[in-house]
Amino acid sequence: MFGSKRGGKTVIAEGLKIVGGVTAEGLVEVNGQVDGELHCTSLILSRKAHVTGTITAERVVVDGRVEGPIQATDVVLKSHAHVVGDIHHRSLTIERVAYFEGRSVQAHGSNWPLIAPGSGCRAAWGWDLGLAELKASVSSIVS
């Protein structure tokens, strides 16, 4: 029911609502609700998750609801995703049936990285979580 850190990731549990900004290193898994800015290295939003505010991360996987802009290197909208807001990205994947209302802005060259060094998130050259670990985490919560 409460936020916790399990296995190298921070979990915002179902039933927990955070009002205000959240900043974390590494992977954040949201099963509850966040009303405010969310900054982290990697983010997974489960089907029951709801974020209202700006998301800034290197990798974002959405299977829940987002109301607000997303700024990330890699963004994946899973089939149950419902996103209303602009997405600034280098890579964007949208699965069938996912809902997205907003602008997709692909960053290139001098516009990159979107995450400023020292902002509480690691830049592209200092990721804590490898892509294989992120895929394993996503598989375990969205299945």
Q: What is the pLDDT of residue 108?
A: 77
Q: Is the dihedral of CA 98, 103, 108, 110 positive or negative?
A: negative
Average pLDDT, the chain: 81
For the residues 82-103, what does the mean pLDDT come to? 97
Q: What local confidence, expressed as pLDDT, does residue 109 receive?
A: 64
In this predicted structure, what is the pLDDT of residue 107?
85
Contact by Cβ (8 Å): 110, 126 = no
Task: Output the six-digit token pair for 57.
Answer: 């991360």
pLDDT of residue 45: 98
pLDDT band (50, 70, 90) for residue 74: very high
Q: What is the mean pLDDT of residues 69-82?
A: 97
